[in-house]
Structure 1
Amino acid sequence: MTPLKSPRPPNPPNPPQSRQSPNPPQSPGRAAAPTAWSPRLWGLLTVLAGNMLIDALEVSALVVAMPSIGADLDLPLTVLQWTMSGFAIGFGGLLLFGGRVVTLLGRRRVYLAALVAFAAASVVAGLTSDPALLTATRIVKGFCAALTAPTGLAIISTAFKEGPDRTRAMSVYTLFGASGFTAGLLVSGLLTDVSWRWALAFPAPVVLVLFVLGLRLVPADEPPSYTPRRYGAVSALALTGSLSALVYGIVSVSQYGWSDARSIGSLVLCGALAGALVKAERSSPDPLLRAGLLKNGPLIRSALGAAALNGSYLGLLIILTFQLQELWGWSPLLTAVALLPASAPLAVTALMSGRMVNRFGAPRLIALGALTPLAGYVLYLWQRDPVSYAADVLPVLLLVGAGFVLAFAALNMQAVSGVPAAERGPTGAVYQSAVQLGAVLMIALVAALLFAHRAPPEASPAAVLEGYRPAAALVAGVGLLGFLAGLAGVLPRAGAPRRPSAEPRSPEPCSPEPETANRKE
C-alpha cells in the first residue's frame, strides 16, 4: 500500500492570533485537495482505463455485427448467439477463478499476460471462419477481461494515495467502463459496414499498445508465499463447462427438439457438471465461492436485480438489431446509432450516480430503475404493424436507458453495503459473476425463441414482428422478476424492525479485487 502522509504536528498551546493568517486552518470536515500527478501516474491510469474501455466495449461489439456474421458464414441464430454468450461465459464463469489466479501469481504478471492473450484472440477471431474457433476466441477474451478488469481496480487502489487522488482515479476508471458499451456499439457499427471481421479484430493493436506501455508503467508486486497454492481449477472448469452445456442444450431444444440426443445429452451433462461443482466446492478447504456470501440479503437482491436488468437489456437489443437490419433494412452503423438512447444516458450520468444514491437511497432507486425498463418491454409487446422508430422503438429505448441511470450504480453499491473491506473483493466477484450469468442465459433463450418462431422468408412484416413476440415476452418476464427483486428491498419485512439501510458514502465500482486482502502474505 502507498504510505499515507504523516500527521501534522500539534499546534503549540494558545497560539498567537494574527488578523490575517496566510495559511488559515482547514475545517476538519473539508476534504484535502488532490495532488498533482506525475506523468507516470497519468500514463498508468491511461493504460488501466483504456483497457477497461476495451473490456466494456467487447460486451456490445457484436450486437450490431451479428446479422452480418450470420449472413456471411451462413450461421443460424442458434449458432450465431455463441459469439455473444461465449464472451459472457468466459467472463462470468471464470471471474472467481481469475481472482484466485491474480492472487497467486501477482497482478503485474497476470495483467500483462492477459493483454497479450486478448490481442491474440482478437486477431484469430478476425481471421477465422470456423464457428467453433470463433466461439473459443470469445471465451478466451471473456476470461482475459475477468483477469484485467478487477486487477486494474486493485492496481489503482495501491498506486494512488487514499483520498482525493484515489477517488479521482476511480472516477476516471468508472467513466471509461460506463462508456464502453456505447463506444462498442458505435465502433462495431462503423467497422461492420466495412467488414464484420474488423469489428472482431480492431482491439488487437490498441491492446498491444497498452501492453507496451504497461511493461513500463504497471508496478511490480510480489505474489504471496504461502502454501499450498489452491487455484480451484476443478471448480472453474465445472462451472464453465456446465454453463456451456446449458447454452448448447437451450439452443439444441429450439433447433432439434426435446427428444434429440444432443438436447438431452447436453442438459444431462450440465446437471452432472453442476453436481461436480458443488462437490468440489464443498470438499475444498479454500473454495472459490464462500457459502456465507449466499446468506447476504442485499448481495442476493442486487445480484438478481442486476442479472435481470443486464440480461433483459441484451435480449431486447438482439431483438431490435434483427428487426432494424433484417426487417427494415438498416445498416449496422445506423442500427448502432438507433440503439444509443438505451446506453448513452448511463455514460453521460456515470459521475453523478453516487450523489443520486446518497440522496435517495439504493433500494428506492433500484426498484424504480427496474420499473422503467419493464414499462418499456411491455410497450414493445404492445406495438403492432406498422411500426415506426420514433413512435414505437425510441420510447422503449429511453425507458430502458432511464432504468440503467437509476439502478446501475445503486445495484453496485448495495451489493457491497455493510460488507467489511476485506470481504468486498469476493462479494464483488459474486455480484459481477451474476451479472454475466444473466447475460449468458438470456442471450441463449432469446436466440432460441427467435429461431423457433422465425417467419418464412416471404412473410409479411406483421408476421415477422409476430415471430419476435415470444422472445419479447420472455424479456418482459425477466424484467418483471428484476422489479420484484428490487421491490423486496423496499417493502418492510414482516416482524423486522424498521431501520435505515446502510448506504455507501462514495460511489466505488463493485469490481472484485484479488483476494490478497483475505490472506496472510
Structure 2
Amino acid sequence: MRATTATPVAEQPGADGRWSPRLWALLVVLAGNMLIDALEVSVAVVALPSIGADLDAGPASVQWVMTGFAVGFGAVILFGTRLVQRLGRRRVYLAAVTVFAVASLAGSLATVAWFLIATRVVKGVCAALTAPTGLAIITSTFPEGAARNRAVAVYSFFGVSGFSLGLVLSGLLTGISWRWTFAFPAPVAAVLLLLGLRLVPEQGGRNRAQGGRPYELPTALGLPAALLSLVYGISRIPGHGWRSPGTLGAFAAAAALCALVVLRERRAEHPLLPLRLLALPALRRSAFGASALNGSYLGLLFVLTFHLQTLLGWSPARTGLALLPAALPPVLLAASSGRLVQRFGPARLILLGSLAPPAGYLLYLRASAPTRYSTDVLPTLLLLGAAFVLCFAALHMQALTVAQAAEPGIVSGVYQTAVQFGAVLVPALVAALMAGHRPRPGATPADVMSGYHPALLLITAVGVTGLAVAVTGVLPQRTPGTSTP
C-alpha cells in the first residue's frame, strides 16, 4: 500500500482571533522569503568594486550585477500575475524559491561576469513571482480585519528591512569574499523551501475554460528583451561609441520590440499591460515619480560605493554602514507612512518628499577632495531617507486610487514595473558616464572627483524631473475628470 502526502490547506485564525503555531510559521516563511527578496536589491551594491577587480569588469559592465536583479523583477512582474493565476500559488511559489536557491549558489561560483549577471536576472524573475504571491497567500489565509492587517504589516516590515540588511551583510561578507554575498541566501532559501512544502496551502490554477486568462507570451517575452537591448546599448557606449553598429543595433532592437509590445497589447483581448491605464494622470505621475526616486537613489549608491572604496580607501564593511542613513528611516517609520498619507494626502507628501533628493544631490556635487563624510556625504543620505519616508508609500497609494474594483493587482503591477525600470536605466546611464570619464593612472583625488560629476549631474537631473512631475499633482486640474485625485 503506497503512502500519500497530503497537500497543506489554508488554515484560519481561531474564533478568539488567536493564531495557531502553524499560522505563525506560515507567516514567518512568507516574510522570510520577502526579506531575502528585498535584500537582493542592495546586497550587490557594496561588493561592486571587489567584483569588478576580481572579474576584470569596468563600471559599465559591473553595473549589470546590480541592475540585473531589477531587470528580471521588472520585466516579469506583470506576467507573473498571469502565471500564478494559471498554475496556482503553491506551485509557482515553491518552484520560484527552488530556482532562487540554485541561482544563488551558482552565482557565488561564477568565474566570468556574464554568468554572475545571468544568475542575478534569474533571481529577479524568481522574486517577481514570490513577492506578490506571498502577499496573495496572506490575504487569502488571514481574514479581512485586524488579523490580515497585522500579517501584512509583518510581511511589509520584513520587506522594507531587507534593503538595509543587504547593505550591512554585503559590507561584512565582502570583507571575506564577495562570493559570500551571493552564496548565503542559498541555504536560507533552502530552509524556507522545506518549511514551505509543509505550510504553504494549495490554491489550484485555472485554465482558460475555468476563466484563466492567456499567458500573452509576446508581451511577456518582448518587454524584458526590449529592456535588455536598451541597457546593452547603453553599456556599449563608453567602449564603442554612440555610432557603432552594435550600439545602434541594440537601440533599434529595443525600439522595435517596444513597438511590437504596444501593437500586441492594443489588439489583445486580455492584455498584460492595458494601455488605457497609462492614460490615467495619477498613475503616470506616481509611476514616473517612483521611477525617478528609485533610479536616482540607486544611481547615487553606485557612485558612492566606488567613491568611498576606491577614492577614500574605505573597507566594504565601513562603506555598507556609511550608506545606512538613507536606508534606515523608511524601516523605522514604515508603520506610520499610511497614517501620514491619510492625514496630509498623497499629492502634498509626494511634493514635499520630492524636494529632498535634488537638494541632496546638489550638496554632494559640491563635495571636494579630500571628502569629509559628515559634511559631504551624510547630508545627502539623510535627505534621501526623508524622501523615502515622505513620498514612497504615498506614490504607491496614489497609483492605487485609480484602480477599479477588479484592477488593483494590474495597477500595482504597472507601478512596480516602472519602479524597476528606473532602477535599471538610471544606474546603467550612470555607469556609462563613469566609465567614459575614468581617471588616468596617477590622477589626483580632485581629478577623480571631477570624473564623477557627469554622472552626478545626470542623477540630479532625474531628481529634478521627479520634482517637476510631483508639482503637477498639486496644480489645479484644467480639465474635469475622475481619474485624478
TM class by smaller structure:
over 0.9
Structure 1: state its 5+ residue gaps.
6-32, 503-521
Structure 2: state its 5+ residue gaps.
1-8
Aligned equivalent of 1:369, options 338, 348, 353: 353
The secondary structure found in structure 2 opposite 1:421 is coil
Distance 2:442 2:453 in 1: 18
Letter in 2 for 1:336: G
The secondary structure found in structure 1 opposite 2:406 is helix
Task: For residues 412-440 of structure 1, give each alpha carbon's deviation from its aligned partner in whole angstroms, at most 9, with x where no partner exists.
Answer: 11110142332100000000000000011
2:63 aligned with 1:81 = yes
Aligned equivalent of 2:147, options 145, 165, 172: 165
Match of 1:187 in 2: 169
Match of 2:219 in 1: 235
Task: Decide whether aligned partners of structure 1 residues 3 and 58 sit closer, same or farther in structure 2, where only a CA change above 3 A counts.
Answer: closer
Letter in 1 for 2:114: A
Distance 1:220 1:420 in 2: 28
| TM norm structure 1 | 0.88
Q: CA deviation at 1:292?
A: 2.1
Distance 1:161 1:44 in 2: 15
| 8 Å CA contact retained: 1:90, 1:139 | yes
Match of 1:212 in 2: 194
Match of 1:51 in 2: 33
| 8 Å CA contact retained: 2:402, 2:484 | no
Identity %: 55
Match of 1:456 in 2: 440
| 8 Å CA contact retained: 2:12, 2:141 | no
| TM norm structure 2 | 0.95
Task: For residues 368-422 of structure 1, give each alpha carbon's deviation from its aligned partner in whole angstroms, at most 9, with x where no partner exists.
Answer: 1111111101111122333200011000100111000101111111110142332
Match of 2:6 in 1: none
Letter in 1 for 2:145: G
Aligned equivalent of 2:23, options 41, 46, 51: 41
Match of 1:134 in 2: 116
Task: For residues 55-114 of structure 1, give each alpha carbon's deviation from its aligned partner in whole angstroms, at most 9, with x where no partner exists.
Answer: 101000100000000011111111111111211110001111111111100000000000
Distance 1:352 1:218 in 2: 30
Instruction: Flag the structure with higher helix content.
Output: 2
Aligned equivalent of 1:119, options 94, 101, 124: 101
2:78 aligned with 1:96 = yes
Task: Decide whether aligned partners of structure 1 residues 192 and 358 sit closer, same or farther in structure 2, where only a CA change above 3 A counts.
Answer: same
Structure 1 runs (4+) greater than 4 angstroms displaced: 1-5, 499-502
| 8 Å CA contact retained: 1:40, 1:217 | yes
Counterparts of residues 423-462 of structure 1 (less than 5 Å): 423-462=407-446
Match of 1:390 in 2: 374
Q: CA deviation at 1:229?
A: 5.6
| 8 Å CA contact retained: 2:353, 2:387 | yes
| 8 Å CA contact retained: 1:239, 1:274 | yes
CA RMSD of aligned residues (A): 1.9
Distance 1:496 1:329 in 2: 57
Match of 1:469 in 2: 453
Letter in 2 for 1:258: W
The count of corresponding residues between Structure 1 and Structure 2 is 474
Match of 1:254 in 2: 238
Task: Decide whether aligned partners of structure 1 residues 277 and 495 sit closer, same or farther in structure 2, where only a CA change above 3 A counts.
Answer: closer
Larger Rg: 1
Distance 2:276 2:246 in 1: 37
Counterparts of residues 340-379 of structure 1 (less than 5 Å): 340-379=324-363
